[in-house]
Structure 1
Amino acid sequence: MAENGAENREKARALMATIDDGVVDGLMKGAVDLHVHSGPSTMARQLDHFQAVEQAAAAGMRGIMFKDHHYSVAPFLPIMERVLGHLNVAMYGGLVLNNTTGGLNPYVVDAQLNQGAKLVWMPTAQSANHIRSSHRKSRLASNVQLKKSPGITVLDAYGDILDVVKEILDSIAAFDAILSSGHLHIYEIWKLFEEAKKRGVKRLLVNHPMYGLHFTYQDITELAQFGALIEQSACLYVDSRFNVFSPEELKEHILAAGVEHSSIGSDLGQVDNPSPVEGMRQAIKLLLALGFSEDEVRLMVRDNSAKLVGLDLG
């Protein structure tokens, strides 16, 4: 696995320079980014939620999902719709099950789903896997601003899904919401998704599988075949300070799942990084330079994500 960020960024820049901006403009029309880290947040952000929508609209995008590790944007979306609805950008929010939001608390999940949350992420920054993996700064670095948190796992000592997680899965199924694996270990994710499917959860999402979650290529392939959408984070491949993968690895990671099971989320909004919109533009350029067709890129930046959230592109 490549970890030379400077070398990776140089390769990415060289490849992206071969792609015409006009082609990218066309592919940004209708794009859906399900991984936007705008603010306010406990971490420094370069733009707020309103600005994220405005920038997405200026680029012709059709939808964005707000993700914060420590609170849900979902309850605020009716207010945002009142102010920004005329921009015709679908806005989504969800809940990350970290200790800062109640952890594995079915009452919080139920309340958020009733307030319009579209997606429930399993624990991220406060998952046991994240905490164990954060000793390397290039892998799942923790937010040191917050009080030290115990690690969360969805399994009991015998490796079985906790009853409280089953209750949460039942709520997700009842609302036909999306379940994301968060930053759990691949061993936990397999158990979780198998239980979720048994309980009627139909929308499954994996975020950045090769970054800190201990996936193999076979895991990506098999989870895609199982029905999960495999989202690659643009920030890990483009001209970003989070770059840890080469362009060639991006192609490998996508092909392991198959274009029909893959999506691109920016995973951006941090300071000193490209904006979410710029990250999506760079990802499109990189995908085209790597040999993916315009139709394949459109699947990954628009159609597959739209289908996951149930967005009619008209």
Structure 2
Amino acid sequence: MISEIRSLMKGGYDLHVHNKPSHFDSRQWDDAEVAKQYDECEFGGFLSKSHYDSSVARAQVANINSGAKTQIYGGVTLNWPVGGLNPYAVESCLKFGGKMVWMPTRDSANCLAYGNMHGDFFDRNPVEVTDKNGKLVKGVYDVFDVVKKYNGWLATGHISPKEAVLLCTEGRARGVNMILTHPDWNRTIVPLEQQKKLADMGVMVEKIWGNVIKGHITADDMAHSICTLGKEHVFLVTDLGQKNWPRPVDGMTDFLISLMERGISADMLRTMIYENSKMILREI
């Protein structure tokens, strides 16, 4: 089955990988090393995610110098080091070729409620996306406007499930391309019926192998959620790159094997790792 899966992966994409350089020492490989690993199955590309700085320029440099055929893409996460809900950071990212904008992750109120995570290097108040009445703040609308201008994609990051639903609903109402991030992570769980409602609005739903191997969702429930949402609404990622976890290429291989063993067809898998991801990258 591995040879079949590796053939299926040809030209595919992984739009959530964590690499060096990073503020955190938990990252095991740099962008070029991951690109060379993904060359093993002639992968199309991956998106390098950084919590505290834009990964766009470094991805472009790595593409020039890596010697790999697998392409590296970047984006920006709206945590405090880039100014929080900063439309200028969004404009810079997308104008420079960035492919994704994430709402606050480690600096979100939802994430900080659990305390600092390993590797955090400053104490701070959260980047708030809603006001005391539960309404989206003006900065969110400024971000919406820039993302829409460039036909980019805005992902929910680590904000709370309630905030994520509100953000996606309002974003879609304004014609913004929206992604529901981490709906199966224990800090950001969105019930499957709510995921389906968002998918029916046109929200793309990220399904993460890392959430399975770290025990936040079972492999059976992951497969069930994908079948419920439908292949046209889902893209598959690893969220790997950390020390002591599988290489992203091996994680993606295991993800596809797990899903195929649970009845997900090759056609469905191909749609979710190739067609949908390529659409998000705006390359079709």
Normalised by the length of structure 2, the TM-score is 0.93
| Rounded Cα–Cα distance in structure 1 between residues aligned with 2:31 and 2:161 | 31
Q: Does 1:283 align with 2:266?
A: no
Q: Provide Cα deviations, 1:63-87, integer angstroms capped at 9, x if missing partner.
A: 1101011111102333223224x64
| Rounded Cα–Cα distance in structure 1 between residues aligned with 2:56 and 2:175 | 23
Work out which of the residue numbers 233, 253, 258 in structure 2 matches 1:261.
233
| Rounded Cα–Cα distance in structure 2 between residues aligned with 1:34 and 1:157 | 33
Tell me which residue corresponds to 1:138.
none
Work out which of the residue numbers 142, 146, 155 in structure 1 matches 2:117.
142
Tell me which residue corresponds to 2:180.
206
Correspondences of 1:177-196 after superposition (within 5 Å): 177-196=152-171
Number of aligned residue pairs: 282
Work out which of the residue numbers 75, 78, 88 in structure 2 matches 1:94.
75
| Rounded Cα–Cα distance in structure 2 between residues aligned with 1:246 and 1:175 | 37
Work out which of the residue numbers 265, 273, 276 in structure 2 matches 1:301.
273
| Rounded Cα–Cα distance in structure 2 between residues aligned with 1:47 and 1:92 | 15
Displacement after TM superposition at 1:146 (Å):
1.4
SS in 2 for 1:299: helix
Work out which of the residue numbers 117, 128, 138 in structure 2 matches 1:153.
128
Structure 1 window deviating more from structure 2 (227-236 vs 151-160): it is 151-160
SS in 2 for 1:171: helix
Displacement after TM superposition at 1:269 (Å):
0.1
Structure 1 window deviating more from structure 2 (56-65 vs 249-258): it is 249-258
Moved runs in structure 1, 4+ residues, more than 4 A?
A: none
Displacement after TM superposition at 1:273 (Å):
0.1
- Residues 256, 208 of structure 1: alpha-carbon distance in 2 compared, 3 angstrom cutoff: farther
Percent identity for Structure 1 against Structure 2: 29
User: What 5-or-longer segments of structure 1 have no aligned partner?
Assistant: 1-19, 136-140
| Rounded Cα–Cα distance in structure 1 between residues aligned with 2:167 and 2:210 | 26
Correspondences of 1:112-127 after superposition (within 5 Å): 112-127=93-108
Displacement after TM superposition at 1:199 (Å):
3.2
- Which residue identity is paired with 1:145? D
Tell me which residue corresponds to 1:227.
202
Displacement after TM superposition at 1:144 (Å):
4.3
Q: Provide Cα deviations, 1:75-100, integer angstroms capped at 9, x if missing partner.
A: 2333223224x643232111101112
- Which residue identity is paired with 2:36? E
Question: Higher relative CO (CA 8 A, sep ≥ 6), structure 1 or 2?
Answer: 1
Q: Does 1:49 align with 2:31?
A: yes
User: What 5-or-longer segments of structure 2 have no aligned partner?
Assistant: none
Q: Provide Cα deviations, 1:20-45, integer angstroms capped at 9, x if missing partner.
A: 21111111111100001111112221
SS in 2 for 1:179: strand
SS in 1 for 2:121: coil
| Rounded Cα–Cα distance in structure 1 between residues aligned with 2:173 and 2:6 | 41
Q: What do you get for the CA RMSD once the two structures are aligned?
A: 1.7
SS in 2 for 1:80: helix
| Rounded Cα–Cα distance in structure 2 between residues aligned with 1:45 and 1:112 | 22
SS in 1 for 2:188: coil
